[in-house]
Structure 1
Amino acid sequence: MTTLTQLDPLPESLPFEIISKTIGRGAYAAVKKGRSAQGVFAAKFIHKQHALERGRISPRQLKFEVELHKLSSGHGNLIAFYGWGEDDVWLWIAMEFADGGDLFDKIEADVGVSEDVAQFYFAQLVSGLAWMHGKGVAHRDLKPENILLDGNGNLKIADFGLAVLFQYQGKYRESTSVCGSPPYVAPEVIAGKYRADSVDIWSCGVVLFTLLVGNTPWDEPTSRSAEFEMYLESGGRPTYDPWPSVPLEALSLLRGMMALDPKARFTLERVRDHPWFTKPNPHLARNGLCINGVNLATKMMENLHVDFTKAPFSSRSRHQLDDSSRMASTQPVISARAPATDVDFAWERPHHHMFASQPTEAQQEFDSQTLWASLAEDPTMSQFALQPHLSVSLTQNARHFRDICPAQRLTRFFSSYSFRQILPILSSALHRMGIIIAPFKPSDYEDANTETWISVRTEDRRRCPLRGDIIVERLAQDMLQVTFSKNVGDPLQWRRFFKEVTVLSKEAVFTGYGQRVGPSGAAATQV
């Protein structure tokens, strides 16, 4: 398949150095790490022709994204804007690199986070949004994929592609564009006439609900959603799960933020005056930043759990496997109802390695032992323990949030199996989940193979698009890493998918109990 980057190479005369492959992808944009004399940053490259053809985004609208991001920059909970440039093919934006990764990659599906962690991140989200609204700018696409973290665990609002100027010189203007992600969008957006600052508040409410319970309240705020209809019929007091698990004070706040009538909906001022919002938080410093990133990260990591004793989730029929191109999770849904569609090109595949470089043949035997031993101090392995818990030595040696919650994806596991052994296991797991899988190529099973990709195109339990890749790659002679990389869809739904495949493939999964599983399924070499 011809890739977009093969058709149109990135500009040769950039005012900075590109130091990574693609770390984020989209139908017409890619994000790479850049470096200049001022340090490391993220560089978003937008292909102007494809933005127009695929997203109906004109060059003028792209410039508007630049201007609104620049206008909004200057707050600690917003991705900082550094600069931009363009040529005949590309427009690029240099911005802050969020080296703490995705927030919602670190949240357990159907569980959420503790109330104090939810309040901490909600406070930072509201703080950043208040700054934007003070500049007259509304985001219009607040959702998990656009909420990132820095290396100390502080929240960063990202992606200003759907931002709009809702207030100028004291005058308000209504928006009419139907845009956003269905589970997070406000009802009036679908009607096509709304105040953009008010829909941001609704989306914030959905984000808070998702933080607290690990699930969105509905798939879309329309009569097509039975859950949304029950929310309306109960006057914002539904009794079905998971609503009863929401703390009462937070539930009061949620009802105010998700009032159906925009005129009755809470303003940001009312949100910040609410008792649940104003109560002291152990993670929040007076300056609005995280007090202790290590403590926060430890609490979040110990909340993640893959339970091998629990039966897998019920089978789903609306799954299929596909070798088609992929879109990034940050790609906005142009219509709040329209499903994501495939595109006929793909960005270069990003790195997913846990380690900086692939071992050479001469290093493999030594590196194999080193890599297996290193997993004893890998915080991501705690999610496979019977009782998730981080070692004292790890937490004592950690200095930053990212030392406990790394930026790389947490939806991954390690195995001592070979490609020939693990691929049939993954295939069987997907088949049991109702996923149609194309036969692997003979080269996928070869001992000398270094990487195999399985592209997944499916729907989640809410019938929303869920797409990504399962990447099986060799880190050493007897060590494989299996990474579940989401491209489209809700990250919590993707984590459910990861957990189900992992449980169904448990015979091949290294769990970190001081041993790894051998080819026969019995315990093998001590680490």
Structure 2
Amino acid sequence: MAPTQPPSTTTTTTTINRTTSDGGTIILNKYHLTRLLGRGNFAKVYHGRSLSDNSSVAVKVIDKPSISDPTMEPRLVREVAAMRRLNHPNILKLHEVMATKTKIYLVMELAAGGELFTQLIRRGRMKEPTARFYFQQLVSTLHFCHQNGVAHRDLKPQNLLLDLQGNLKISDFGLSALPESHKDGLLHTSCGTPAFTAPEIIRGKPYDGKKTDAWSCGVILFNLLTGYLPFHDGNLPNMYKKMFNRDVMFPDWISKQPRVIIHKLLDPNPKTRMSIEQLLSVSWFKKSLKPDPYVELYDDKEEGVKCEKTMNAFDIISSLSSGLNLSGIFEEKVRKERRFTSNAKAEEVKKRVVEVGGELGYRVRKMKDGENKKEGVYGLVRGRVEVVVKVMEVVPEVVLVQMTVVDGGDEFSEGGWDELKGGFQEIVVSWHDGV
């Protein structure tokens, strides 16, 4: 149950937190944090209890000084903005955003059933009716998101939560694309989790966010029915090759109808790929489908539309007058790895690696060849810094280049990445920095 008080924004210049006798923490005199529910790279999520009405919530705690990825700020802004726009029973609700000098708190609906991913780990795979139940909720909710101009772009079982009744709750909109992100109806940012990312994003081409979400749905349906991923491979280029070639091996227990759906969703060509709208009319999908409950849209420009406004949660991030300007609080730390894709021939890319290294004052050494003559590994050494560059052909028209700082990281600044990015820019189709 959500807190009864209206969503609000609380900002303070001092930390008003105190430890309780049970080992928990009272934050800003509003919530009692108890046990840890989970942790990610940049945040911890705690079970919380509202001091005003004793309702349970989940509180994501982001420690500002420890944030090491400069992409975290825009992700946080996108997450709050997307959740502000969307009010749907199968989307995790954001109740409130609070902040102190050292921490940001996102107070959200508690999904007491945990991650769908955990259910998969326990079961191994799901029976067809169970998989269809979750798939129906996922697809119907995505259709709602797309109608409101939001593409999720990071769909995977880890971002699908469950409530106590076993209903799906889509979470983590940090990589979502809002309507204002679209240029001529298409998106241009490379992002997502590789095993669930559509081929057109990997190619670095402008793409339709709705079609990339449809691809992810195909991966998830296969995952629910089998317990494993359709293109799983420890070697990233090999996994991409399987995706481009639609190299999917279906186990015998998957029946014909879901097999056809998965095949159409996992079409490498987005123009012929099954869309979410088309999927809604498929007989297998509609079987035992419960009607989508009434949902309230957030639209502050349209009169007469009911809304559950969480606009204050957004204001704390977007408005300088709120007392919280995120632009200066995220401590930058140089990332150790960057990747880009190129449509140049592999030999041209390898030649450019040697040229760029020499132009920037690196000593270039060829370390080894890859699995075939079109792949290679190079070491760029300058002082104590060494950057390993791997050139890997995925398919003839897509070359993946991975650059990793393996030594002297303390002396390698963001300026070092800027130099390399500038040197390779002529052959780059798209950078894959996870933003």
Aligned partners of 2:75 and 2:175 also within 8 Å:
no
What corresponds to 1:176 in structure 2?
Answer: 188
> 140, 160, 164: which one pairs with 1:127?
140
Equivalent position SS for 1:82? strand
Two-structure CA RMSD over aligned residues (Å): 3.3
What corresponds to 1:189 in structure 2?
Answer: 201
1:195 and 1:63 map into 2 onto residues whose CA distance is 22
Change (3 A) 1:176 1:99: same
Equivalent position SS for 1:42? strand
Aligned partners of 2:199 and 2:244 also within 8 Å:
no
Equivalent position SS for 2:110? coil
**Cα shift at 1:175:** 3.0
Are 2:76 and 1:62 equivalent residues in the alignment? yes
Change (3 A) 1:56 1:231: closer
Change (3 A) 1:19 1:237: closer
> 113, 118, 131: which one pairs with 1:118?
131
What corresponds to 1:496 in structure 2?
Answer: none
Aligned partners of 1:10 and 1:90 also within 8 Å:
no
Change (3 A) 1:230 1:29: closer
Q: Deviations over 1:80-125 (max 9, x none)?
A: 1211122222222111100111222223579511111111110000
Are 2:173 and 1:155 equivalent residues in the alignment? no
**Cα shift at 1:159:** 1.2
**Cα shift at 1:230:** 5.4
What corresponds to 1:213 in structure 2?
Answer: 226
**Cα shift at 1:133:** 1.4
What corresponds to 1:306 in structure 2?
Answer: none
1:181 and 1:270 map into 2 onto residues whose CA distance is 25
Partner amino acid, structure 2, of 1:186: A
Alignment of 1:478-493 (within 5 A): none
What corresponds to 1:50 in structure 2?
Answer: 66
Equivalent position SS for 1:65? helix
1:336 and 1:206 map into 2 onto residues whose CA distance is 23
> 260, 265, 275: which one pairs with 2:283?
275
What corresponds to 1:34 in structure 2?
Answer: 48
Partner amino acid, structure 1, of 2:36: T
Aligned partners of 1:209 and 1:216 also within 8 Å:
yes
Equivalent position SS for 1:137? coil
Q: Deviations over 1:237-268 (max 9, x none)?
A: 75x4x444321111111122111111212221
> 35, 38, 56: which one pairs with 1:21?
35
**Cα shift at 1:145:** 0.8
1:169 and 1:28 map into 2 onto residues whose CA distance is 24
Change (3 A) 1:88 1:175: farther
Q: What's the TM-score, normalizing by structure 2?
A: 0.56
What corresponds to 1:263 in structure 2?
Answer: 271
Change (3 A) 1:121 1:288: farther
- What 5-or-longer segments of structure 2 have no aligned partner? 1-13, 19-26, 295-336, 341-435
Partner amino acid, structure 2, of 1:142: L
What corresponds to 1:515 in structure 2?
Answer: none
Equivalent position SS for 1:131? helix
- What 5-or-longer segments of structure 1 have no aligned partner? 1-7, 290-333, 338-527
1:231 and 1:244 map into 2 onto residues whose CA distance is 21
Change (3 A) 1:34 1:335: farther
**Cα shift at 1:46:** 1.7
Q: Deviations over 1:22-54 (max 9, x none)?
A: 211122211112222341111111223433x2x
Partner amino acid, structure 1, of 2:266: M
2:135 and 2:39 map into 1 onto residues whose CA distance is 27
1:57 and 1:11 map into 2 onto residues whose CA distance is 28
Q: What's the TM-score, normalizing by structure 1?
A: 0.47
What corresponds to 1:487 in structure 2?
Answer: none
1:147 and 1:43 map into 2 onto residues whose CA distance is 17
